[in-house]
Amino acid sequence: MDSKVQELLDQQVNKEFYSAYLYLDFSVYFYDNGLNGFGNWFKIQAQEEQAHAMLFLQYLQNNGVKPQLCAIDKPAVALTDVKTVLEETLKHEKYVTSLINDIYEAAHAAKDYRTMQFLDWFVKEQGEEEMNAGDLIKRYELFGSDAKGLYMLDNELGARTYSAPSLQL
């Protein structure tokens, strides 16, 4: 495997675990503020990120590369209010999209078509992640300022359940 592609894939394992840790921090914030449905939504989001990390790790191993596990940063987002947390989620997903694009670009430059094909799933997934984060902001803007509306939105988010990624390696 091209050394640059390998390095970026390795880093992505860490970035996905950081995403899981970040969303777990958001989840804790919501539970602490009585919004258990939002807390549930972010806890499941954290599980998804962990699954993403494992896919990158497995992909490296499948290609005979030993993953390098580095320290995961402390979540570094100030949790001031609900809207800010939701906006930070969208901002973070856009950042992750840029990381995936960077790996894609490196794989393309190295003519590493196998990695490009592996990344295709993540390109699509990032589109969904950004859409979900954007939808959450819109719905909070619409219903969040009304106590009943917020209660119903929280209930809806509480119904989210985890399903494993459709990508199998």
Give the footprint of ligand FEO on this chain (CB under 6 A): 16, 19, 49, 52, 93, 96, 129
Distance in Å, CB of 120 to ligand FEO, minimum:
14
Distance in Å, CB of 146 to ligand FEO, minimum:
29
Distance in Å, CB of 55 to ligand FEO, minimum:
9
Beta carbon nearer to ligand FEO, 19 or 40:
19
Distance in Å, CB of 42 to ligand FEO, minimum:
11
Beta carbon nearer to ligand FEO, 131 or 152:
131
The amino acid occupying position 77 is V
Beta carbon nearer to ligand FEO, 6 or 126:
126
Maximal CA-CA distance, the chain: 54
**H or E segment and range at residue 44:** helix 36-62
In the complex, residue closest to ligand FEO by CB: 52
Beta carbon nearer to ligand FEO, 19 or 27:
19
Beta carbon nearer to ligand FEO, 95 or 151:
95
Distance in Å, CB of 93 to ligand FEO, minimum:
5
